[in-house]
Structure 1
Amino acid sequence: MECGRRPVMTNEATQDIRFGFGENWTRYLADISQERIDEAVASLPKLLGDSLTGKSMIDIGSGSGLFSLAARILGASVLSFDYDAKSVACTAELKRRFFPNDKNWQVAQGSILDKGYIGQLGQFDIVYSWGVLHHTGDMWKAINNAGSLVRKNGIFAIGIYNFLPGRRGTHTWQKLKRWYCAASPWKRTLWEYAYISWNLCYLVMVGRNPLKVIREHKKLRGMSWFRDVTDWLGGYPYEAATAGEILEFVQANCGFTLIRQNVNTGLGVSEFVFRASKQ
């Protein structure tokens, strides 16, 4: 299925200014636990609303490889790919640990923006890309290309940053993230400490226990609070869209039907699950 595209916002991204997602995932992988894996395994069918047994799934921007691993544990055959070489290495390492020499889990390096690359991949029962397509530098093209990989009656599950207007909104963070990624290593480290300290102080001010928040963060898809904070600070290229813009684009141009959504009203990720037409 081919999707059209409609630009909503302009991203100033350039290929020479890009966050090292793979470096962040490498640190995450060093602390991964069975508990985090179990959380990921539990969260995936809840999002998709369907069994993965016997299904084919492509994980676009596999990052740490955690959700590729979860899908494989749940019985899907999986193709994982990522643009970042270190992310590919992380995914390959998880496969080596849990599914060595498994022909039903393939790991590759590639770009969702490369039409030539994705044109050779075929189509899948489940196309999954959570928190990835808005980091490509051309979000709408990425959504377009990802949609083309969905098999008839298949599932299209994406997580996209919500667009928030205003002085503390998306456009401001786009500039801050670009500055962070262009800064020297010591400046980035200082900013990380400052931002983490601010977040911890804020939790105390609103009456929440920071240690409990950090400890229980793994219940959110098996993630790490510290790695997510770093990912948020540095996640560039960075684009966003309102839920209405995503729905309009995917439904009108891809012909998919929304079956589930979890809309974030702040700067976080909104989740959308669509089903492709049977036609």
Structure 2
Amino acid sequence: MAVDERRRSADERFAFGENWLRYLDVVDERRIADATASLTAALEAGDLAGRTFLDVGCGSGLFSLAAHRLGAKVHSFDYDPASVAACEELRRRFAPHGDWTIERGSILDDDHMRRLGRFDVVYSWGVLHHTGEMWRAVDAAARLVAPGGALYIAIYNDQGLPSRLWWKVKHRYVRSGPLARGALLLSGGTYFGARRLVGRLAGEGDGGSPRARVRRRGMSARHDLVDWIGGFPFEVATPEQVFGHLRGRGFQLTFLRTCKGRLGCNEYVFAAPGGD
């Protein structure tokens, strides 16, 4: 799985951007407000006025827009040209005159990353594990954080054998035609629906489910399903691995929200060394 995204062939990479372009059809003020609330909760900041915000792998641009609404100067980039187009369209609709730069770029392009400089907040939710070189991408993102700034990342939870099986599902999806992809999506939707039903019958509620986490962040369960089934490359890590990796580079954990050992992403906010 350690293959540079610039060299990975098109038939081994999920078309994230196409899915984000479709997601724009459901973006409204409620979803923007939900995304903004989740951002302020994790960063423990009521606003980002006077701060710079880098969105690594911006996707639809929803969280770039949230940061802009909170007063940040925003820079967004994504490897996928369709994601760049989605982000630009979202800016056109909701912040046409905002202090917000969008470009195409790869977190694995060392020269490009050096030219970007450093930012008060570096945000990358559910992106770095899709590059094909997750730990290298984590390190690259960490180097972009200004002294005392915040690194906000979300990484797929390592469930052991289930994660290995999901890797096979995703790999099959990106190498299949439309009919096989449709069958995988149908199977995936049925699987997750059954999990939610069992959870409700067991009295577990829905608060920790992938569907609830999607809703809390202003996302769309339908588009997230496509992203989940097809999202390849795909790597995972335990909370201990992420914590240990970044602590060894001087970062301090300030926020953690896990998926409680289940399927999904664990969220982390780290404070960069060098602050007052």
Does TM, scored on the shorter chain, surpass 0.5?
yes
CA separation in 2, counterparts of 1:217 and 1:33? 18
236-245 vs 201-210, which moves further: 201-210
Structure 2 counterpart SS, 1:120: helix
CA-based RMSD of the aligned residues comes to 2.1
Task: Name the residue aligned to 1:193.
Answer: 186
Match of 1:108 among 91, 103, 124: 103
Shift of 1:38: 0.9
Q: Per-residue displacement from partner, 1:207-255 (whole Å, max 9, x unpaired)?
A: 4799xx9996663200111111111100100001111111111110x21
Match of 1:152 among 147, 150, 153: 147
Match of 1:23 among 18, 25, 30: 18
Opposite residue 185 of structure 1, the aligned amino acid is P
Preserved CA contact (<8 Å) 1:133 1:142: yes
Preserved CA contact (<8 Å) 2:20 2:59: yes
Preserved CA contact (<8 Å) 1:251 1:257: yes
TM-score by length of 1: 0.89
Match of 1:273 among 260, 269, 273: 269
- Note the 1:150-229 alignment, pairs <5 A: 150-166=145-161, 169-207=162-200, 219-229=215-225
Q: Per-residue displacement from partner, 1:157-180 (whole Å, max 9, x unpaired)?
A: 1000111112xx211111111011
CA separation in 2, counterparts of 1:201 and 1:247? 33
Shift of 1:202: 3.8
Match of 1:87 among 83, 86, 101: 83
Shift of 1:53: 1.3
Structure 2 counterpart SS, 1:125: strand
Opposite residue 72 of structure 1, the aligned amino acid is H
Match of 2:30 among 19, 35, 53: 35
Structure 2 counterpart SS, 1:227: helix
Opposite residue 237 of structure 1, the aligned amino acid is P
CA separation in 2, counterparts of 1:66 and 1:41? 9
Count how many residue pairs are aligned between Structure 1 and Structure 2.
Answer: 264
CA separation in 2, counterparts of 1:217 and 1:149? 27
Identity %: 41
Opposite residue 110 of structure 1, the aligned amino acid is G
Opposite residue 266 of structure 2, the aligned amino acid is S
Structure 1 counterpart SS, 2:58: coil
Task: Name the residue aligned to 1:7.
Answer: none
CA separation in 1, counterparts of 2:100 and 2:178? 36
Q: 1:218 to 1:18 in 2, by over 3 A?
A: closer
- Note the 1:230-241 alignment, pairs <5 A: 230-241=226-237
Q: Per-residue displacement from partner, 1:93-127 (whole Å, max 9, x unpaired)?
A: 0111122143x100000000000111100000000
CA separation in 1, counterparts of 2:210 and 2:137? 32
Q: 1:239 to 1:38 in 2, by over 3 A?
A: same
Q: Which sections of structure 2, spanning at least 5 residues, go unmatched?
A: none
Preserved CA contact (<8 Å) 1:217 1:225: no
Asked if 1:250 corresponds to 2:246, the answer is: yes
Shift of 1:185: 1.4
CA separation in 2, counterparts of 1:242 and 1:65? 27
Preserved CA contact (<8 Å) 1:91 1:107: yes
Shift of 1:11: 4.5
